[in-house]
Amino acid sequence: MRSRNLSWLLLGVLFSSSTWAESSINLTEGVTGVSHDVYDLHMLVLYICTVIGLVVFGAMFWSMFFHRKSKGHVAATFHESTKVEILWTVIPIFILLAMAIPATNTLIAIENNDNSELTIQITGSQWKWHYSYFDQDLDYFSVLSTPRAQWDNLSGPGEEKGENYLLEVDKPLVIPINRKVRFLITSDDVIHSWWVPAFAVKQDAVPGFINEAWTNVDEPGVYRGQCAELCGKDHGYMPIVVTALPENEFDAWLKEQKVAAIAAAEAEKASLAERMTMEELMTLGESTYVASCAACHQANGAGFPPSFPALKGSPIALGDVSKHIDIVVNGKSGTGMQAFGKQLTLKQLAAVITYERNAWGNNTGDVVQTADVKAATGK
């Protein structure tokens, strides 16, 4: 009885899950010339393997059916044939040549990074991507935007998962179609790998080295990918989203970003004069902490020592304020602690430092204002 209930439950889960999203079973054809070539190569090898498989397995099954002892088949005595053995050494070499020639051509095309019209530096860090447009004064971080309540089901079912679960970010990379876009890929900490299947671009982000890749997208759209190299705890939570816009829309978008950047700089300047209350700082601090710090140091400040130390009761959060500001703004080299000075606004920095000094029983009572952060770091 119980086992029958269990199997019904299992069936129910299976069927409900199939309504979530379409499963695909083959490689994407993608939206670039290279991705089409790669897809064609993939299909070519797949067909070759299928044919060889049919022949070899066919012969094996033939002998399994017709050359069996139970049917009274008597074994032949041959055990070598130079002719046959040379044949099945030479024929595969020709098949391999038929595969290697188109593969070489595609590879040469993939590695040709010349004549790009736009260059974007992509920097991976645990666990976010940073995009910097060359000669455009534009750079920003791109972070997973799926709320924690959707994916953290350790203590309960959590919220229902959205359509682009784990494949959505706060600010996607925006590129134009029909222009050759070159990517310079590197990392701030461990090795990551920037992968967008629709472009057939996968390139490792290696700390201290810069790798090149490029794409030229045919169709506007939103393309999603993920980090493809194990990069620590939240490797599964650093997706890539690329929005490809028609050329004119892309140019308009670039202008918009510049206006927004000027406005942000002015807001930053204005915030220097602002004196925030403890409550305001704590509220903003908490939301900033959850978004930027909790992945490592945990929402309760306990961290995952020894890689990610606890902030609750830590000597830095309880000690000298300027040292605390310094480590948050500039990071700590040789550890996973990033320099948040370039990721957060002065206001957010002040708030999050105040929060860390007063949350979870770290009751220092210290209030850090925007101007303090500015003064301590000269940011």
Partner 1 sequence: MTTSTTDMAHDDHGYMATGIKRWLFTTNHKDIGTMYLWFAFIMFLTGGSMAMVIRAELFQPGLQIVNPDFFNQLTTVHGLIMVFGAIMPAFTGLANWMIPMMIGAPDMALPRLNNWSFWILPFAFTILLSSFFLGGAPNFGWTFYAPLSTTYSNGSTAFFVFAVHIMGISSIMGAINVIVTIMNLRAPGMTYMKMPLFVWTFFITAYLLIAVMPVLAGVVTMLLTDTYFGTSFFDASGGGDPVMFQHIFWFFGHPEVYIMILPAFGIVSTTIPTFSRKKLFGYSSMVYATSSIAFLSFIVWAHHMFTTGMPLIGELFFMYCTLLIAVPTGVKVFNWMATMWRGSISFEVPMMFSIAFVILFTIGGFSGLMLAMAPVDFQYHDTYFVVAHFHYVLVTGSLFSIYAAAYYWLPKWTGHMFNETLAKAHFWCSLISVNLLFFPMHFLGLAGMPRRIPDYALQFADFNMWVSIGGFAFGLSQLIFLAVVIKCIRGGEKAPAKPWDGAEGLEWTVPSPAPYHTFSTPPKID
| Piece in contact with partner 1 (CB under 8 A), picked from 152-160, 175-183, 352-360, 365-373 | 152-160
Beta strands in 216-372 (DSSP E): 221-227, 239-245
Across the strands, what pairs with 183? 120, 213
DSSP of 345-371, one letter per residue? Answer: -HHHHHHHHHHHHHSTT--------HH
Region of 303 on the Ramachandran plot (φ > 0 left; ψ -120 to 50 alpha; else beta):
left
172 binds partner 1 (CB under 8 A): no
- Per the CB < 8 A criterion, the answer to whether 239 and 168 are in contact is yes
Q: Please name the residues in contact with 302: beta carbons below 8 A apart, sequence gap of 6 or more.
A: 310, 312
Q: Site mask, partner 1, residues 329-348, x = CB under 8 A? A: ----xxxx------------
- Answer for which of 4, 5, 22, 273 binds partner 1 (CB under 8 A) is 22
103 binds partner 1 (CB under 8 A): yes
Across the strands, what pairs with 201? 196
- Answer for which of 12, 53, 313, 319 binds partner 1 (CB under 8 A) is 53
113 binds partner 1 (CB under 8 A): no
When the beta carbons of 69 and 275 are compared against partner 1, the nearer one is: 69
| Minimum CB distance to partner 1, residue 216 (Å) | 16
166 binds partner 1 (CB under 8 A): yes
When the beta carbons of 22 and 279 are compared against partner 1, the nearer one is: 22
Handedness of CA 314, 315, 318, 323 (dihedral sign): negative
- Answer for which of 124, 172, 176, 197 binds partner 1 (CB under 8 A) is 197
Dig out the tokens for 323 from the structure: 């040292």
When the beta carbons of 111 and 320 are compared against partner 1, the nearer one is: 111
3 binds partner 1 (CB under 8 A): no
70 binds partner 1 (CB under 8 A): yes
13 binds partner 1 (CB under 8 A): yes
- Per the CB < 8 A criterion, the answer to whether 263 and 321 are in contact is no
Q: What are phi and psi of 365, to 5 degrees?
A: 75, 0
106 binds partner 1 (CB under 8 A): yes
Residue with tokens 């979530």: 20
212 binds partner 1 (CB under 8 A): yes
36 binds partner 1 (CB under 8 A): no
When the beta carbons of 163 and 279 are compared against partner 1, the nearer one is: 163
- Answer for which of 26, 115, 248, 277 binds partner 1 (CB under 8 A) is 26
Alpha-carbon span 227 to 363, nearest angstrom: 39
